[in-house]
Amino acid sequence: MALTEQERNEYKQKITNIANSFQSKKANDHLRSRTEEAEGRLEFWQERASTLSWFQKWDQVLEWSYPDARWFVNGKLNASYNCLDRHLDSWKKNKPALIFEGEKGDHKVYTYKELHAEVNKFANVLKSRGVHKGEIVTIYMPMIPEAIIAMLACARLGAPHNVVFGGFSPEALRERINDTKSRFLITCDGAYRRGNLLRVKENVCAALKEADSVEKVFIVKRANIDIEIIGGRDIWYHEAMEEAGEDCPPEIMDSEDMLFVLYTSGSTGKPKGIVHTTGGYLTGASTTLEYVFNMKQDDVYWCTADVGWITGHSYLVYGPLLNGATIVMYEGAPDYPSKDRYWEIVQKHGVTILYTAPTAIRTFMKWGVSYLEKWDLSSLRILGTVGEPINPEAWNWFHKNIGGGRCPIMDTWWQTETGMIMISPLPGTNLKPGSCVAPFPGIKAEIVDKSGQPVAPGEKGFIVITEPWPSMLRTIYNDHERFKQTYWNTIPGVYYAGDGAKYDEDGYFWVLGRVDDVINVSGHRIGTAEVENILIEHPVVAEAACIGKNHEIKGQAIVAFVTLREGVCPDSDLVELAEELKKHIVLRIGAIARPEDIYLTKELPKTRSGKIIRRILRDIAEGRMIGDTTTLDDGFNLEEVMKNILVSS
């Protein structure tokens, strides 16, 4: 049911016209007078869905029973078929789908035909070992092509994937395996990062000690190191692939069947398994990639996100492959072997679209422009950012030095939960550095106060989405009640994103950051409660409170305030103790959660009702004068808190 090339072009023109009118300079005026667009919105998404290949067409575009949505009801399709097979009967068969750049400089190219063959083979491997439709498969991998192959092989079989970021600790991996009760795990022997060897399989073995559900572990040989192989459980990927056939028919999936679960931090201790389904998710990911980046057939597109995050799912894997694009995937760190590695890659592969994070841009800024001089960046035509607010200085630096003053920057606001870009300019929109401009066509987002009323320009409010969208999360795995409470109950009737924002006088959106207890470190979400719970488990810790302080490069950094238990050896070296607590967190969550500072203190500032006042902790952490203290507990003496800080590291 795919459209012909001509239909597609005509249609594209039509949608571009709609998009441009949505994104007029007075974006907000438009937003407010958009009620009549409800029908247009469904029509828009329906037309977009028909650019995918369906085995059976849907009966209804949307079935909405607040807050439960079903998109493209009774439609049948397969994600891996859409990403691969449908490109094979055109010239795209021999087009590079994936250009992999290893940290050591090794590189490998897969055409669509080759990627299709690998995915089919691995799907057959999984199938012959018992993976079937509906079975959740956990993937714990570094940034290597097999991570993408594994995801698509799962999708081919209708087995939802549960990708766990390769930098997470064994404990974080175990938690995600146990929540999904995965019987299958795909991983590798080791990985490289900044030239160092990471012993991935050792982490896996540690995780599996208390994760009984896992029956089979598939291991990709990346680092070629000696590892322990457990007979009957561990299977070498390359050995299994040798005997696998290249033809594995795609499973026919319902539009609402689960495509994947991906865990993200929330304001309580337990990470939430965000569930995405098939038809709506693919429609959203493919449409936004095509429009936001104005994707053309000869583009070389590089998204620097790790497959372990939603940006990796939607814009490294699904979005680009659905569009038949050529993807660049880089294994390693931006400063290895030297600080110009990204620019070398841009020149080497002629990258035309670069999608990255503000934290990376601020790091490049700090390193200085001398690292750019050697490289020709003239192939670039569009830039994108995601993950956190971008400050105007970083925006201008990116625009001038990387984009040569000619590439528009798409500042894209969205979340694991939204599945796709929700608020963003389109190429051609008038840009303002630091603003993500306006909702994407077909999306109804607003900034409202606590009671759900739109705020006036300049006033702070909360981002809400007022109409369902195709790639919206369907539930939290195993916890539908929490899904309803977290997202749909804070401001009844609408999806509550947990972000603060304001409009300017032209109606442009300016995102201010999280308003809940989630810290955004270098674009990664970390729940304060998650870190606090782990600190409290340490034998010296009585109480712990974490906050995010502003950080020049990372956007926010974690600062932990800890009171010690009575009787902790009075002679302990407190600086060393603080270091030990940092290590404890790294071990239990992963390096991304390492606190920047730890304050060991005798007490924490609390309200009369005993709630820790994080605002004061933030003041202390950022070295500011302490603000209003009228709500403090009566017997509480702030000077004492300050004096009682035993050590800060």
In the complex, the smallest distance separating the C-beta of residue 518 from ligand 6R9, rounded to whole angstroms, is 7
In the complex, the smallest distance separating the C-beta of residue 501 from ligand 6R9, rounded to whole angstroms, is 8
Asked whether the beta carbons of 97 and 326 are under 8 A apart, the reply is yes
In the complex, the smallest distance separating the C-beta of residue 498 from ligand 6R9, rounded to whole angstroms, is 6
DSSP state, residue 269 = S
Q: Whose Cβ is closer to ligand 6R9: residue 397's or residue 414's?
A: 414
Which strand (E) or helix (H) includes residue 432? Answer: none
SS3 state at 602: coil
Q: Which residues of 480-514 are buried (b: 16+ CB within 10 A; e: fewer)?
A: eebbeebbbebbeebbbbbbbbbbeebbbbbbebb
Query: What does the binding site for ligand 6R9 look like in residue numbers (CB under 6 A)?
Result: 264, 309-311, 386-389, 411-416, 436, 497-499, 511, 513-514, 520, 523, 525
Q: Whose Cβ is closer to ligand 6R9: residue 217's or residue 443's?
A: 443
Which residues, in sequence order, are CB contacts of 226 under 8 Å at separation 6+?
A: none
Rg (CA), the chain: 25
User: H helices then E strands: how many in the chain?
Assistant: 20, 31
Q: Whose Cβ is closer to ligand 6R9: residue 71's or residue 509's?
A: 509
Number of residue whose CB is nearest ligand 6R9: 416
Q: Whose Cβ is closer to ligand 6R9: residue 78's or residue 418's?
A: 418
Asked whether the beta carbons of 253 and 387 are under 8 A apart, the reply is no
Angle of CA points 102, 106, 109, to nearest 5°: 85
In the complex, the smallest distance separating the C-beta of residue 310 from ligand 6R9, rounded to whole angstroms, is 5
Strands 461-465 and 495-503: antiparallel
Q: Whose Cβ is closer to ligand 6R9: residue 75's or residue 590's?
A: 590
Q: Whose Cβ is closer to ligand 6R9: residue 359's or residue 520's?
A: 520
Q: Whose Cβ is closer to ligand 6R9: residue 100's or residue 414's?
A: 414
Q: Whose Cβ is closer to ligand 6R9: residue 56's or residue 489's?
A: 489
Class of residue 391 by CB neighbours under 10 A (exposed 0-12, middle 13-18, buried 19+): middle
In the complex, the smallest distance separating the C-beta of residue 463 from ligand 6R9, rounded to whole angstroms, is 8
Residue 516 has a CB neighbour count (10 Å cut-off) of: 17
In the complex, the smallest distance separating the C-beta of residue 345 from ligand 6R9, rounded to whole angstroms, is 22
In the complex, the smallest distance separating the C-beta of residue 512 from ligand 6R9, rounded to whole angstroms, is 8
Class of residue 199 by CB neighbours under 10 A (exposed 0-12, middle 13-18, buried 19+): middle
Beta bridge partners of residue 164, listed in sequence order: 140
DSSP state, residue 242 = H
Rounded Cα–Cα distance for residues 306 and 316 (Å) = 8
Rounded Cα–Cα distance for residues 215 and 249 (Å) = 25
Q: Whose Cβ is closer to ligand 6R9: residue 78's or residue 311's?
A: 311
Q: Whose Cβ is closer to ligand 6R9: residue 165's or residue 364's?
A: 165
SS3 state at 182: coil
Residue 542: half-sphere exposure toward Cβ, Cα within 13 Å: 11
Closest CA to 69 of 569, 588, 422, 469: 469
In the complex, the smallest distance separating the C-beta of residue 521 from ligand 6R9, rounded to whole angstroms, is 11
Instruction: Please provide the DSSP assignment of 39-105 as one string.
Output: HHHHHHHHHHHTTS--SB--SEEEEEETTEEEEEET-EE-HHHHHTGGGTTSGGGGSEEEEEE-TTS
* CA-based torsion, 401, 403, 404, 407: positive or negative: negative
In the complex, the smallest distance separating the C-beta of residue 499 from ligand 6R9, rounded to whole angstroms, is 5
Class of residue 203 by CB neighbours under 10 A (exposed 0-12, middle 13-18, buried 19+): buried
Asked whether the beta carbons of 438 and 26 are under 8 A apart, the reply is no
Rounded Cα–Cα distance for residues 407 and 421 (Å) = 19
Rounded Cα–Cα distance for residues 85 and 93 (Å) = 9
In the complex, the smallest distance separating the C-beta of residue 525 from ligand 6R9, rounded to whole angstroms, is 5
Q: Whose Cβ is closer to ligand 6R9: residue 350's or residue 513's?
A: 513
In the complex, the smallest distance separating the C-beta of residue 58 from ligand 6R9, rounded to whole angstroms, is 27
Q: Whose Cβ is closer to ligand 6R9: residue 170's or residue 387's?
A: 387
In the complex, the smallest distance separating the C-beta of residue 495 from ligand 6R9, rounded to whole angstroms, is 12
In the complex, the smallest distance separating the C-beta of residue 378 from ligand 6R9, rounded to whole angstroms, is 26
In the complex, the smallest distance separating the C-beta of residue 415 from ligand 6R9, rounded to whole angstroms, is 4
In the complex, the smallest distance separating the C-beta of residue 329 from ligand 6R9, rounded to whole angstroms, is 18
Asked whether the beta carbons of 150 and 159 are under 8 A apart, the reply is no
Asked whether the beta carbons of 388 and 499 are under 8 A apart, the reply is no
Q: Whose Cβ is closer to ligand 6R9: residue 277's or residue 415's?
A: 415
Asked whether the beta carbons of 50 and 529 are under 8 A apart, the reply is no
Q: Whose Cβ is closer to ligand 6R9: residue 237's or residue 414's?
A: 414
Rounded Cα–Cα distance for residues 103 and 133 (Å) = 35
Q: Whose Cβ is closer to ligand 6R9: residue 204's or residue 259's?
A: 259
